Amino acid sequence: MVTVDTRGSADLPAAPSGILFALVRRALRDARARSIGFGYLFAAVSYLEPVAYRHTYPTLVDRIRFEHSFATNKAVVLFYGKAYDLLTLGGYSAWRVGGTLAIFAAAFGMLAAVRALRAEEDSGRSELVLASAVTRGTALTAALLAVALGAVLLWLASFAGLVAGGLPAGGSAYLSLAVVSVVFVFAGVGAVVSQLASTKRLAVELCGGIVALCLVLRVIADTSSGAGWARWLTPLGWAEEMRPFTGAQPAVLLVPLAASVLLVALAARLAFTRDIGTGRLASHDSSARRRGLLSSATAQAVRAERVGLSIWTGSVGGLALVIGVVSASVTSLGISKQLQHALQRLGTGPRLTPQAYLGFSFGFFALAVSLFVISQVAAARHEEAEERLEVLLSQPLSRSRWLSGRLGLAAGGAALIAVFAGLLAWLGADSQGVSVSLLQMVGAGANCLPVAMLFLGIATLLYAVAPRGATAIAYGLLVIAYIWELLGSLLGAPSWLVHATPFAHIAAVPAVAFRAQAAAIMAGIGLVAAAGAVLAFRRRDLLGA
């Protein structure tokens, strides 16, 4: 038998640079949906925030009142970071655009790195690539270059949005750079965690916990007297310290640059000293038998998801505790038009009380719980893509029972996160003497569940009908709905269009009564969608990655 070596054929680039560029092109093609989605988000937020500011605060008097009510109010600083100048369009944009997009930049960097590294190993593609004329160094370089090019796309999107919104080009470029610097740091974090974790799921969960910790550190630095030094412990704080439009400090860019280089160097060292498909945190070859939570497919799913559920519960609960503590600092003096609009939509009236602030804040936790349930649908899709579901269904287990069990796990986890957030928010508020009962705050947490059930049903139906694109579509719908809730009324949209998002129908519990009718409609739609998903899933073929 004659063996033919095809490594030098026309199908593969002969030069190392050609191989590198081919790998980068493939990585960019694989990530195009995520990159385009984040790009649209960055452009939209960068454009809409300055436009809304000019529309809502047209006079200097309006802006002075806005600054007096927001600049030193810990309850508001918690969400957007420290404000240095709210009298100018540039200063406001640095605060709102920078504070909001820095968090999304962290998520993008983390997801992009994990997808380019850990997910490639989980699917077995890395092993195939490295079996050809490709070294580990080339593969790692190509993955990180693709992430860097994705960050450049986000910079361009943010820059274009800011300029279109009426900001000068120079300041817009610097503000966009401050935001995108976060991408590189968290891409480095994702690269390191991808070497430590043994699966993509574990890597994403660990990175999510790190993002939450960095956000909590920024919150502590911005809201606690004498804790400004903590801002230097988090990349989100470094972006604030660059001070776009408010006394720029470009030397601070050296901090994220150095951190990114060190993290990438550490990731490379770890990558070169482990086997493909394994992780530094992988279990030992032998260990004591643990048969807990193996009695059924649903119990096994609980066992597999317990680490992620713990991270979600701890992260949301920690932020809820901080919100409860700072709720005592809210004031109605000089309240801004923007917050008046938000409170009136929620039914609390134009007065900002601690109870109204807690109800307003739990709208964010409704987003977090909705993100969690979609992540559980993604976990179900991952089990199918890895062909583990095929093994389960070869047992006396029906498709309907398996999917219903996953839905129950997602709903139960959402309830745990929501109620725990309410409990910790009550502990924080009670410690500062805020008059709110434990039952009210548990109700505020449970108030997050109807919209989460709606998105759980939608995401599951998408999974049953179009599994490969279901997760991306579900996440996109959720983000669009939430962003529209924040900006729709400020842009002067008609009332019926503002109320098109389900987040507009969440009551500000505990400040106002629970909206049973709206909650029942959202939960009902989610239930019908979930039932349709179970029926559709019984009729389609299982699909791999």
Residue-wise pLDDT for 426-463, tens only, equals 999 998 888 899 999 999 999 999 999 999 999 999 99
pLDDT at residue 371 in the model: 92
The pLDDT value recorded for residue 284 is 46
The 10 Å CB-count burial string (b at 16+, else e) for 452-464 is: bbbbbbbbbbbbb
Mean pLDDT over 283-301 rounds to 66
What is the spatial distance between Cα 545 and Cα 308, in angstroms, rounded to a whole number?
A: 22
Q: Is the pLDDT of residue 508 over 50?
A: yes
Confidence check: pLDDT of 505 > 70: yes
How far apart are the C-alpha atoms of 536 and 462, rounded to whole Å? Answer: 10
| Helix 449-465 vs helix 467-487: crossing angle, to nearest 10 | 150
Proportion of the chain above pLDDT 90, given as a percent: 39
DSSP track, 23-71: HHHHHHHHTHHHHHHHHHHHHHHHHHHHHHHHHH--SHHHHHHHHHHHT
How confident is the model at residue 303, as a pLDDT?
83
Q: What is the mean pLDDT of residues 291-308?
A: 79
User: 66 pLDDT exceeds 80?
Assistant: no
According to the model, what pLDDT value does residue 15 have? 43
Return the C-alpha torsion angle 468, 471, 472, 474, nearest 10. 130
Q: Considering only residues 350 and 67, tell me which one the structure prediction assigns the higher pLDDT.
A: 67
d(CA 471, CA 484): 20
| Higher per-residue confidence, 146 vs 124 | 146
pLDDT of residue 129: 79
* pLDDT at res. 448: 94
Q: Evaluate whether 159 touches 173 at the Cβ level (below 8 Å).
A: yes
Give yes or no for residue 218 having a pLDDT over 80: yes
Mean pLDDT, residues 351-355 taken together: 75
Structure tokens at 358: 């807690």
Mean pLDDT value of segment 183-196:
94
Mean residue pLDDT across the chain: 84
Q: What does the pLDDT read at residue 11?
A: 40
**Which residue would you say has higher pLDDT here, 331 or 376?**
376
pLDDT at 282 over 60: no
Most confident of 308-317, 474-483, 520-529: 520-529
Domain ranges of the chain: 16-281, 295-540
Q: Which pTM value belongs to this model?
A: 0.75
Dihedral in degrees, nearest 10, Cα atoms 151, 154, 156, 159: -120
* pLDDT tens track for 119-140: 888 777 787 777 777 888 888 8
418 and 365 in contact (C-beta within 8 Å)?
yes
Comparing 106 with 472, the larger pLDDT belongs to 106
Tokens of 153: 């796309």
- Span of 71-80, 318-327, 402-411 with lowest mean pLDDT: 71-80
Better-scored residue on pLDDT, 279 or 348? 279
Report whether pLDDT(541) > 90: no
pLDDT per position as a tens digit, 397-432: 899 999 999 999 999 999 999 999 999 999 999 988
Instruction: Give yes or no for a contact between 96 and 46, defined as CB atoms under 8 angstroms apart.
Output: no
Confidence (pLDDT) at 72: 59
Q: Over range 499-525, report the average pLDDT.
A: 90
Amino acid (one-letter) located at 206: L
pLDDT band at 301 (very low <50, low <70, confident <90, very high): confident
Alpha-carbon dihedral angle through residues 504, 510, 514, 518, given to the nearest 10 degrees: 10
